[in-house]
Amino acid sequence: MIAGSEGAAAYTGSAPRDEVQDLHPGAWLAWLMAASVTAFLTSNPLYLSLGLLSAAVVFVAVPDSPKKRMMWPVVLIGLFFSILSIPFNVLTGSSGPTELASIPELHFPRWFGGVTFGGPITGEALVTATLRALTISTLVVAAAAFNAAVDHYRLVRLAPRSLAHAMLVVTIAILVVPQAIQHGRRVAEARRLRGWEGQGLRALPVLLLPVLEGGLERSIQRAESLEARGFGCGVSKGDWRLSLAGMMGIGLCVWGAFAQFYYGGGFAPGPGSAPFALLLSGVGLVALAVVRIGGVKAERLHSERASWRDASVIAAAALSVLLVLALRAADAGDLSYMAYPELMAPAFHPMGAVAFLLVLAPALVLGGSGGPA
């Protein structure tokens, strides 16, 4: 792998070392996992609002950089579609006793999905749709803060050898949209300097072709760069099978955890349940891949050590998840709030507030901040 930040920028699209933040990528990864897990484990609007606010504060606190400026459009687009999902979910399926309004119904045939558009609009459906939008918004803002702050090259170096290739591919895929947005801005600026005054939707066809051409050119250059560095060479068929098993294990872990907390009927329904078996199977596959293949073999000019800031962020992330799990295990704090069958105000527990406010940890240790360009 490349030794040096300048080479890393070409390899993964990340910023040079002097432009990235001073938190360890492992700390950022722990923070992202905590922000995502806590958002998934609750449907209480009070806690979700705190989680969204905390993620937004962390994103704003990330020092200004080209990567952060590229993430602002992603955040705005994500928030737009999450808000747009509220009326869409309400108009395509409302139920509940609290009727707020009623609009004419439009029934689609069964071959077209059998969806009914319109009808009575209930408060229960509106609250449920808003909760989903809050969850999506929290995940979007947290992912944007993570990608704006972390050095993806340093993050890839932390991956075990069994998952290193997959991590690199995922990293390149994540950076496609921000790079396309940045390239579109450069194209628009160059055309404005030449006297072009196109605006709005009419300007899209003129900008689309140069952006696609630039994306294709970058893809070819990146593929040639990976080939020149021997990407994927020296990996045996057994290693590939183990790598695939590791990726399948991660998928089973996510699937099992989701089923455990949303369909399993409790925090730990028992070793005989299907969600628990999925979770154990995923952990076993990941452990097998990591142990059999081992870590990444790379020459490193220096070793990164976690500072007290990194340790504090990791500790806050772990404590946040543990508090939410404790509340869920004790069935306290109304984490599994439901607007059905009767619309009521959600309960609030101070420990739940502390859990979601702990997501603010990176904002408290970061030195810089910046707004949108």
For residue 327, what pLDDT is reported?
92
For residue 340, what pLDDT is reported?
81
For residue 266, what pLDDT is reported?
44
Torsion of CA 278, 279, 283, 289, to 10 degrees: 30
Contact predicate 90/120, CB 8 Å: no
For residue 82, what pLDDT is reported?
92
What does the alpha-carbon distance between residue 186 and residue 192 come to, in Å, rounded to a whole number? 10
- Is residue 101 packed enough to be buried (19+ CB in 10 Å), middle (13-18) or exposed (0-12)? exposed
- Is residue 215 packed enough to be buried (19+ CB in 10 Å), middle (13-18) or exposed (0-12)? middle
For residue 11, what pLDDT is reported?
39
The token pair at 169 is 């591919």
For residue 76, what pLDDT is reported?
92
For residue 162, what pLDDT is reported?
60
For residue 157, what pLDDT is reported?
74
Contact predicate 257/273, CB 8 Å: no
**Of 36, 96, 55, 101, the residue nearest 258 (C-alpha):** 36
Tens place of pLDDT per residue across the chain (373 aa): 333 343 444 434 444 443 334 788 889 989 999 999 899 889 899 999 999 999 999 999 998 888 888 888 889 999 999 999 898 888 887 777 888 888 887 877 777 666 777 778 888 888 989 999 999 999 999 999 998 898 877 777 777 666 666 667 677 776 777 777 777 778 777 777 877 766 666 667 777 777 777 777 777 777 777 667 666 555 555 566 777 777 788 778 777 776 765 554 444 444 446 766 777 787 788 777 766 655 444 444 445 677 888 999 999 999 999 999 899 888 888 888 888 877 888 989 999 999 999 999 999 988 544 544 4
